[in-house]
Amino acid sequence: MLLYILDMFGTAVFAVSGVLLAGKLRMDPFGVVVLAMVTAIGGGTIRDMVLGATPVFWVNEPEYLWVILATCVLSMLLIRHPRRLPWYVLPVADAIGLAVFVAIGVDKALSYGASPIVAIIMGVLTGCGGGILRDILAREIPMVLRTEVYATACIAGGIMHTLVLASNAGAEFASISGMITTLGIRLAAIRWHLSLPTFALSK
């Protein structure tokens, strides 16, 4: 039940990030909903398509769609001035959602018989895929392809998840270990503005 609640929380937070970007680009309400939907469930949708999980998760669980729609409406009504929010609120909430999404992606891939490395990739895809699609639609370079410590946190969390599971620990403990790892690295990156070195060719 706790994981389900956190999953819905993460869905709402990711949807908010889509709404904020849509507002920055001055999109109409339909554009807002599309960008929020893509951000919140895009990664999980691609994951299910890759794994051959049909239908994709939100077809059988439409509550995800209702959470996104409600988030869009509330965000458009209440968040008129995002800069008035404390700077850390959305990044920290996003980090919590990210950690949960990665764990869910790893668990689902393993339940379909995927190898550990494939499960880690599916965890990263679940956590980052929606944001990549959002940024592509907004004609921006996806955040995970820049110096931000984001996908790296997902990879570390996925590795921890699969390693703990391989040590014959319980599935619940493995999921929690992975989530704590992803969350810890992401929060550290937010707190101390950590970034990866860039690759640049000399002129």
Contact 132, 144 (CB under 8 A): yes
Return the pLDDT at 113. 97
Evaluate whether residue 203 is within a structural domain: no
Query: What's the rounded mean pLDDT across residues 156-168?
Result: 97
> Residue 202 contacts by C-beta under 8 Å, 6 or more apart in sequence?
none
> What's the CA dihedral at 138, 143, 119, 181 to 10 degrees?
-140
Evaluate whether residue 27 is within a structural domain: yes
What's the structural domain count of the chain? 1
Evaluate whether residue 202 is within a structural domain: no
Query: What's the rounded mean pLDDT across residues 7-15?
Result: 96
Domain assignment of residue 66, given as a range? 2-192
Return the pLDDT at 165. 96
d(CA 57, CA 77): 29
Q: In the structure, what pLDDT confidence band is assigned to residue 141 with cuts at 50, 70 and 90?
A: confident
Lowest average pLDDT, out of 12-21, 73-82, 152-161, goes to 73-82
Q: What is the CA radius of gyration of the chain?
A: 17
